[in-house]
Amino acid sequence: MDIFSSIRNIQSNTYERIDKVKHNNEITNRKIEEKDILQKKSKEEIKAELQKIVKELNEAMNPLNTDLEFKYNSKVDELMVLVIDKKNDKVIREFPPKEALRLMEKMRELVGMLFDKKG
């Protein structure tokens, strides 16, 4: 292999690396832009969007006659899925379970008390 071939290979590898770095930078910039957009939205706007999505999910599921229902729990800011017996409208199962939701509520209360600025 002559010196010119070596130089061409090095040059080619360098251009490939530069292209990869440019691609990675573009992806990183996109992620930063998406993060900035999410941070600009207030908590109330996000809650409203989640409640709207839950409503749309339930409307989409109705024609399918499924036993699934979606809810938004505002106390812990979590999306819930309920499995319901259509015959008697009894809840068969919840995701996350009630116990987990209660635990999340208590944990948030404790964190709030621990980091309360007044105390």
pTM above 0.75, yes or no: no
pLDDT tens digits, 90-112: 888 888 888 888 888 888 888 87
- 97/72 same-domain check: yes
**Residue 4 confidence (pLDDT):** 65
As averages over each run of 10 residues, the pLDDT of the chain (119 residues) reads 70 75 75 70 78 85 77 82 83 87 85 68
What's CA 42's distance to the chain center, in Å?
A: 16
Distance CA 57, CA 33 (A): 28
- For residue 54, give its domain range: 43-114
**Residue 14 confidence (pLDDT):** 75
- 108/85 same-domain check: yes
